[in-house]
Amino acid sequence: MNILFIADPLASFKIYKDTTFAMMREAQKRGHQIFACEPHQLVWQSGQSVNAQVQQVHLTGQQDVWFEVQGVHADRGLHSFDAVVMRKDPPFDSEYFYATHLLEQAEREGAKVFNKPSALRNHPEKLAILEFAQFISPTLVTRDAQAIRAFHAVHRDIILKPLDGMGGMGIFRVKDDALNLGAIIETLNREGAQTVMVQKFLPAIAQGDKRVLVIGGKVVPYCLARIPQGGEVRGNLAAGGKGVAQAISARDQEIAETIGPALAQRGLFLIGLDVIGDNLTEINVTSPTCFQEIFDQTGCDVAALFLDALESAVA
């Protein structure tokens, strides 16, 4: 297969943990041809197909210079690839939004895009959990400062976060004393201009914020628990959390077996469910990670599972 990865600049990859790199490595191992571009290299001109300036790359197996460019194609149509894998990291900003429209046009021209562009738009990673209310803790989404105060008055210990945050950015905990609640609300909702998500605090975060992966509707049997360190409330690896791989629990399995197949039917080929204790807290659809951490600690080759499913999907 010829596989195009749309991602951040290759030079920015931390290959010891990068999931897109793990996908590329497994693809090359199987004899597939690897191509890469960035979202800004997508082009759609009237009367033409959606194309991009792409690089054909070969992985060297080295740590420092880990890839070499074997060729550059200035205007290659996306429909000419067997699979287009959208792996641009958040934030999901206006440029990401526009990229999904170009990719959707490429689909109409015959391209097979994973994850499906319209599904990426329709499943904002924090809001998407509200569709599955049976699995989540008490949650409020609002711009209204008084509504947030009322939510705190009921639940007494809460988490507040922006809808467009990533890697644990902008997350605040307010305990029973309501210390700094007003200032935090002002910071996050910007005098009513920005929507905020508020959730009841889950003490089970001490055991980790688990990343449960689902590929093609099938649940990966191991997850990565991101455990907060040093008094932090956030388990995100980007915020200093410690990643500990473990077998998924019966509750994790129940959540993933309910949500995974349903979202796979909508074109979300790879998703990452964040679970704290028994509660779903986020559905990651843009560029779910943790493939390498799970493999390194358990031997479960998640990248191989991904390529198995991708090969089947494009067959």
Quick: pLDDT tens for 51-106.
999 999 999 999 999 999 999 999 999 999 999 999 999 888 999 999 999 999 99
Catalytic residue selected from 25, 209, 234, 293:
234
User: Which one from 25, 88, 116, 161 is the annotated catalytic residue?
Assistant: 161
Residues ≥6 apart with Cβ < 8 Å to 27? 1, 3, 34, 307
Sketch the domain layout of the chain as residue ranges. 2-122, 138-201, 204-314
pLDDT at 307: 98
Q: Tokens at residue 272, please?
A: 């990452």
- pLDDT at position 273 is 98
Active site residue 234: yes
Query: In the predicted model, what is the mean pLDDT of the chain?
Result: 95
Give the strand pairing for 209-215 and 222-227: antiparallel
Q: Which pLDDT score is estimated for 170?
A: 87
Q: Give the chain's radius of gyration (CA, Å).
A: 20
Between 253 and 234, name the one with better pLDDT: 253
In the structure encoding, which two tokens stand for residue 205, read together? 């975060």
Known catalytic residue: 126? yes
210, 274, 279, 293: the active-site residue: 274
Q: Is the pLDDT of residue 252 over 80?
A: yes
The residue annotated as part of the active site, out of 87, 112, 126, 200, is 126
Among 18, 209, 282, 293, the active-site one is 282
Question: Which CATH fold would you assign to the domain 138-201?
Answer: Dna Ligase; domain 1 (3.30.1490)
Q: What is the CATH number of domain 2-122?
A: 3.40.50.20
pLDDT value at 238 more than 80: no
Question: How would residue 178 be classed by pLDDT, with cut points 50, 70 and 90?
Answer: very high
Catalytic one of 25, 87, 211, 236: 211
In CATH, 204-314 is 3.30.470.20: yes
Write the burial class of residue 133 (CB in 10 Å: 0-12 exposed, 13-18 middle, 19+ buried): exposed
Does residue 87 have an active-site annotation?
A: no
pLDDT digits (tens, 9 = 90+) for 263-293: 999 999 999 999 999 999 999 999 999 999 9
Q: Hey, CA dihedral for 108, 111, 112, 118, is it positive or negative?
A: negative
Known active-site residue 149 = no
Confidence grade of residue 191 (pLDDT, cut at 50, 70, 90): confident
Catalytic residue list contains 257: no
Instruction: Specify whether 76 is catalytic.
Output: no
Verify whether residue 121 is a known catalytic residue. no
Active site residue 161: yes
